[in-house]
Amino acid sequence: MTRVALIAHDEEKPEMIDLARAYEDLLSTFELVGTGTTGKRVIEETGLTVERKQSGPLGGDLMIGAEVAEDRLDGVVFLRDPLAAQAHEPDISALLRICDVHDTPLATTRSSAEFLLDGLARAEE
């Protein structure tokens, strides 16, 4: 089964919820994993099932990176705020590096996330 990680900086969490709602039918066929707060919001606001890791400040992004390193993820959606990320929010650099090393697609914007999800859907057909 396709397994996708969901991470969002605070300012991008509403966009993640909107994306999850728009792709709810597809995402319900995937195994989803997310950082603590993002995962909680997706669960509460969509009804999707998400395996929650620690929140970003407590290492949830690193836990997701470990899953990439173990080839347990097919893609990562990390909606980040490139202009106003806070110090407590996950840093994308380590996650980007491990995704590149393992050739795991990582989307950082809504439009790239849509391409990633659509591509994973086609790969499942």
User: 108: annotated binding-site residue?
Assistant: no
Please check if 102 is assigned to a binding site: no
* 55 annotated as a binding-site residue: yes
Query: Any catalytic annotation for residue 61?
Result: yes
Residue 36 tokens read as: 């603590």
Any known ligand binding at 56? yes
- For 33-70, b/e burial (b = at least 16 CB within 10 A) is bbbbbbbebbbeebebebebbebbeebbbbbbbebbee
Contact 73, 34 (CB under 8 A): no
The catalytic residue among 10, 18, 25, 61 is 61
- Active-site positions read 61
Known binding residues are 9, 13, 35-38, 55-56, 88
Known binding residues for substrate are 9, 13, 35-38, 55-56, 88
